[in-house]
Structure 1
Amino acid sequence: ELENRINGDIVIVPQANPIGLSQFPNAQLQGRFDVSSGINFNRDHAKIDLKDRESLLDKLETKPATEQLKNNLLYLALGADIIIDLHCDYESILYAYICKEFWPDANDFAKSLDLGAVFIADGHSSAFEEAVVHAFRHDDNKNPPRRFVSTLELRGQSDVDEKLARSDAQKLFDFLIGRGVVAGHYQAGEKWKGTVTPLDHIEVIKTPVAGTILFNRVLNEEVKEGDLLAKIISKPGQEDGIHEVFAPQDGIIVTRTFNRFAARGDQLYKMTCNGPTKTDRAPGALES
């Protein structure tokens, strides 16, 4: 800004969810759900036509705090052409959710960020970025600007240090230079050739029982169908007390839980695969 290089408007929301950041039940941060209502902060965003953007602010002061937060964020996003929602997973590589209409145009984003994987969303969930995409799909403008919407998963929750943050910030800056939002020179080079996977080809591996988790695989590791992924110790010392979890098909480990004790049905891994998931998955988000 001091160098007068900003060609567009850049809005940074450093804390998009102040309600979640204020919740510490039992001295543990709970930012995903509202502790009083159980509402998921990243689901059930309003799906509206872009022309109805102003309706998000109608009688906003009469609505619950969670809805005020969601509507304000969506209203802000619908005034932009590029929206990047910064998240993180449990333990994970650097990856992004991108709706199908933005791919492969968003290859420049994947290249700039040096993503480990791209998940192609189907647009059927009520997550924040898909609510934005819904409004863009329902735009009366027959010649809309070049747009881009993504949820960027900045690795895992413990991947926090200044050097990494500066590197990621520079990569985001390079992307904005490439899109002309910021004046400057950035040479992207060859196209990004990483893993691009539709949500229907992502296996969400869950534990069949409650117990202590012993992992057998690490992030970014390639596995084959039938490979041992983890052992769950449910009844220590008993003959039937260890349950083994196997890969349902060939794939690559993208995420892993940071917990080492799981309830039945808790997520262990997410894997990108070449074939459709072998477990039932409704259209929409991978997880609640």
Structure 2
Amino acid sequence: MIEDRQPLPSTAPGTTRHLTSYLFAPDTTGPSVYLQAGLHADEMPGVLILQHLLPLLEDAEAAGRLHGPVRVVPLANPIGLTQWAHNKPMGRHDADSLRNFNRYYPEMAALIGDRLENRLTQDEAANGAVIRAAFAEALEELPSGTEAEAQRIALLRWSLQADHVLDLHCDHWAMLHLYASPTHPQTTSLLARCIGAGLALIEAVSGGNAFDEAHTVPWLRLRDRYGDRFPIPVGAFSATLEYRGQFDVDDATAAWDAANLMTFLAAIGVAAGDAGPAHPEPETLPLSGTVEILAPQGGVVTWAVAPGARVATGQIIGHVTDAMTRQRLAMTSPIDGILYRQELWRSCLRGQVLADIAGKEPGRSGNLLSD
């Protein structure tokens, strides 16, 4: 195992932060994997999962059971981890810019598009290597900018060379689900069946240039530009794994999730192992088919169903009660689907998003991810 510490630019005299990664089996030639957690620094399930995964990887490396390189970033956002207000973490948005830490990644296709004009050939595999080399070149040339911008660049330097990229997150209250591109449907299914995700939300471009799509959208853009002249690979597999809710943090669950990640590594040929995926096929639905449930008034939120429930059109899924007027308004589902997440707080203002339901029919456009 190789430990790599990347310093971030100091924001003030006497202060410094750094990112740490652990690289296992660097000299192996099999498929490569990158895993990170805590990009939203108020989301701890994934951070604990990686703490349980690291010793499993250490044992596998020592026993010669890793066939491909595995890089783990156990805490991908030291900036956000220190940003608290009123005894509550603000780890989702940068306190300085108010930007979501999981948005605004560099548009890699735009950065490297012109420099590929005289480098691509009719060899698809060679073109893949050329594109990855161009990614590395472009990232080295980017100015570091703010500390948060430097953090984004540093994470991409590690991750853009990997064949499989897994970004571990969680929601407020939620079932285990994932977000992925449509470019690798078999791998998406395999991952979900290995980790036990009951829902896979699929979209080619969700908007906002989140970390996972910073690894898939550039290949799509380059195929659009060069695909009629040169063979361009579909590129890396990348997914955001939503490990339930913010309070689903305990060692037993994290150890189970870490073991399931090892099953996935074995299934894709990165680690030795005989066990296959033990969970059923996920429900696979378009992210653009999700609908948001808005609070009909301000007040106290109560739920009639839990995350993971299948709901029908018109079904009452919860209520909002105005304690001043005693008015109690029902929230109903506008579609048949799966209620996969609910907001953390049990109080609300009128018009706030309180839950999301995944449906079969695409209906939304633009930026599909909540900020």
Question: Normalized against structure 1, the TM-score is what?
Answer: 0.90
Unaligned runs of 5+ in 2: 1-60, 110-130
Q: Which moved more, 1:220-229 or 1:112-121?
A: 220-229
1:132 aligned to 2:215? yes
Deviation of 1:232 after TM superposition, in Å, equals 1.3
Q: Which residue of 2 aligns with 1:71?
A: 153
1:272 aligned to 2:358? yes
The answer (yes or no) to whether the contact 1:108–1:192 under 8 Å persists in 2 is no
**Which residue of 312, 318, 328 maps to 1:242?**
328
Taking the aligned partners of 2:215 and 2:68, their CA distance within structure 1 comes to 20
Deviation of 1:122 after TM superposition, in Å, equals 2.6
Paired residue type of 2:200? V
Taking the aligned partners of 2:211 and 2:200, their CA distance within structure 1 comes to 17
Q: Closer, same or farther in 2 for the Cα pair 1:178/1:37, shift >3 Å?
A: same
Q: Closer, same or farther in 2 for the Cα pair 1:212/1:12, shift >3 Å?
A: same
1:55 aligned to 2:138? yes
Q: Which residue of 1 aligns with 2:20?
A: none
Alignment of 1:179-218 (within 5 A): 179-188=268-277, 192-218=280-306
* SS of equivalent residue, structure 1 residue 166: helix
* SS of equivalent residue, structure 1 residue 131: coil
1:116 aligned to 2:198? yes
Q: Which residue of 2 aligns with 1:18?
A: 78
Q: Closer, same or farther in 2 for the Cα pair 1:237/1:266, shift >3 Å?
A: closer
Deviation of 1:242 after TM superposition, in Å, equals 2.8
**Which residue of 244, 247, 261 maps to 1:158?**
247
Q: Which residue of 1 aligns with 2:57?
A: none
Unaligned runs of 5+ in 1: none
Q: Closer, same or farther in 2 for the Cα pair 1:33/1:2, shift >3 Å?
A: same
Paired residue type of 2:139? L
* SS of equivalent residue, structure 1 residue 107: helix
Deviation of 1:26 after TM superposition, in Å, equals 1.1
* SS of equivalent residue, structure 2 residue 89: coil
Alignment of 1:222-261 (within 5 A): 222-234=310-322, 236-238=323-325, 241-261=327-347
Taking the aligned partners of 2:232 and 2:238, their CA distance within structure 1 comes to 18
Taking the aligned partners of 1:214 and 1:145, their CA distance within structure 2 comes to 44
The answer (yes or no) to whether the contact 2:286–2:360 under 8 Å persists in 1 is no
Q: Deviations over 1:98-119 (max 9, x none)?
A: 1011113422111111211100
Deviation of 1:59 after TM superposition, in Å, equals 5.2
Report percent identity of matched pairs: 29
Q: Which residue of 2 aligns with 1:283?
A: 366
The answer (yes or no) to whether the contact 1:225–1:248 under 8 Å persists in 2 is yes
Q: Deviations over 1:24-62 (max 9, x none)?
A: 11110011101122111111111113423322232544x
Taking the aligned partners of 1:47 and 1:186, their CA distance within structure 2 comes to 38
* SS of equivalent residue, structure 1 residue 46: coil
The answer (yes or no) to whether the contact 2:215–2:236 under 8 Å persists in 1 is no
Q: Which moved more, 1:152-161 or 1:106-115?
A: 106-115
The answer (yes or no) to whether the contact 2:219–2:235 under 8 Å persists in 1 is no
The answer (yes or no) to whether the contact 2:135–2:160 under 8 Å persists in 1 is no
Taking the aligned partners of 1:45 and 1:147, their CA distance within structure 2 comes to 16
The answer (yes or no) to whether the contact 1:81–1:145 under 8 Å persists in 2 is no
Instruction: Report the count of equivalent residues.
Output: 281
Q: Which residue of 2 aligns with 1:168?
A: 257
Deviation of 1:193 after TM superposition, in Å, equals 2.5
The answer (yes or no) to whether the contact 1:122–1:199 under 8 Å persists in 2 is no
Deviation of 1:146 after TM superposition, in Å, equals 7.3
Q: Deviations over 1:171-208 (max 9, x none)?
A: 1111111111112222337x942210101211121213
Taking the aligned partners of 2:263 and 2:294, their CA distance within structure 1 comes to 37
Taking the aligned partners of 1:222 and 1:106, their CA distance within structure 2 comes to 22
Q: Which moved more, 1:154-163 or 1:197-206?
A: 197-206
- Provide the aligned C-alpha RMSD in A: 2.1
Taking the aligned partners of 2:63 and 2:234, their CA distance within structure 1 comes to 26
Question: Normalized against structure 2, the TM-score is what?
Answer: 0.71
* SS of equivalent residue, structure 2 residue 331: strand
Deviation of 1:244 after TM superposition, in Å, equals 2.1
